[in-house]
Amino acid sequence: MPPKNEVATTSYSPIAIGLHWLIALIIVFQFFVGLIFDDFQKPLKGDMINLHAAIGLTLLILVAFRLYWRLTHVVPALPSSVPHLQALISKAGHYLLYILMFAVPIVGMMTRFARGAGINFGLFNIASPWAVNKPFAETTENLHGLLAYILVGVAALHLLAGLYHYFFLKDGVMNRMMRSSQAS
């Protein structure tokens, strides 16, 4: 892993900002698509579930790249006005978001594969590596849904904290993820 550039920054890089907002939009899209699966009739329902799985795997790859980027690039420091306890809560929240951004699609893939279904990307397929296991699929499906709700809830708190900093504290915390003052 290349060493981090230790130059102090006041904002995230354009790549980090782009990944942040792209991943956020995909998570919101995926969450709402997951909520309306039962509204679709066959065969469209199967196609939508496959699309959800394909986007979920793509999301997992984007999150892995985002984590790599974060580990290899300097994270802008919080303003000195942010209390230490609040900074610790922020750090814990970010860790939780990363854990959930990995866990939700992984558990979703486990569900799909336990049903004996692969993922069709159009140009290629990923076959299920497992035998059908309906009880396990039901358990992981429920866990996938629960984790998705937790992810969206934690992300909503993350957004609310950013908006609080932006509109009330006006301390530049949210600006770090809205515009870059550096080259990628």
Is residue 85 assigned to a domain? Answer: yes
Q: Are 16 and 73 in contact (CB under 8 A)?
A: yes
Is residue 183 assigned to a domain? Answer: no
Q: Domain count of the chain? A: 1
Give the pLDDT confidence of 109-133 residue by residue, as tens digits: 999 999 999 999 999 999 999 999 9
Q: Give me the sign of the Cα torsion angle 5, 11, 14, 19.
A: positive
Is residue 5 assigned to a domain? Answer: no
% the chain with pLDDT above 70: 93
Q: Are 173 and 75 in contact (CB under 8 A)?
A: no
Domain range spanning residue 140?
A: 14-177
The pTM of the full predicted model, rounded to 2 decimals, is 0.91
In the predicted model, is pLDDT for residue 184 greater than 50? no
Is residue 166 assigned to a domain? Answer: yes
